[in-house]
Amino acid sequence: MYMRVVSMRIKPEFVETFKSSSAEGIEKLLAEPGVVSSALLQKADDPASFLFIEAYASSETYEEHLKSQCFLDWQEQVASLLDGETDSVEYAPVFPPEGEWIQDTVQELS
């Protein structure tokens, strides 16, 4: 499994636009083959700070996502909303074990 955590700041006047565009993008992302889960989190004490937590079947699946029309469209929509650079970091899952990250289970929780 391949996991990424991406942090970013959004210009305060565009927070709601970003949330809406990103929610639509995540719905499309979850339909892509090899996508295990995706979530967008907003920092409680800093509403312009966000984290994406994404899990893919492999690094190749992630690389394919970066070329997908879904990602390219989202990237174009939000580029002007960003307040600075994004930070993307790879993580390895510890718990639950890799085989227990099931997309349907994640979707049921939302």
CATH classification at residue 87: 3.30.70.100
Asked if residue 18 is part of any domain, the answer here is yes
Asked if residue 64 is part of any domain, the answer here is yes
Domain span at residue 51?
A: 2-104
Q: The tokens 């639509």 sit on which residue?
A: 24
Q: What is the pTM of this model?
A: 0.85
Number of domains in the chain: 1
Which pairs with CB-CB distance under 8 Å and at least 24 residues apart come from 72-76?
73/25, 74/21, 74/22, 74/24, 74/25
Asked if residue 110 is part of any domain, the answer here is no
23-61: pLDDT as tens digits: 999 999 999 999 999 999 999 999 999 999 999 999 999
Lay out the sheet containing 87-91: strands in order across. Answer: 35-42, 49-56, 2-9, 87-91
Asked if residue 37 is part of any domain, the answer here is yes
